[in-house]
Amino acid sequence: TCPNCRMAKNFLNQANFEFEEVIANENPELTKALNINQAPTLVEVKDGQVQLIENVSNIRRYIESIVLVKA
């Protein structure tokens, strides 16, 4: 229901970015374990490392950087 979450989800879908949506208030243990304090937050797990990309503008920049690298 969060408008910023919907925008972030739109960016991810438009970029054909594979993701799994996790609703923070339905998964409080995971949210706490990952130290997520705001929505939306994109969590990338790569080579055992966790990176948090918070807020719509940072998520958009991250997606654009990934798309540019793939092009």
Listing DSSP states for the chain in one string gives: --HHHHHHHHHHHHTT-------GGG-HHHHHHTT--SSSEEEEEETTEEEEEESHHHHHHHHHHHHHHH-
CA distance readout (Å), 37 to 18, 30, 67: 23, 12, 27
Which tokens is 25 given? 């208030």
pLDDT at 57 over 70: yes
When pLDDT is cut at 50, 70 and 90, the band that residue 70 belongs to is low
- pLDDT tens by residue, 20-49: 999 989 999 999 999 999 999 999 999 999
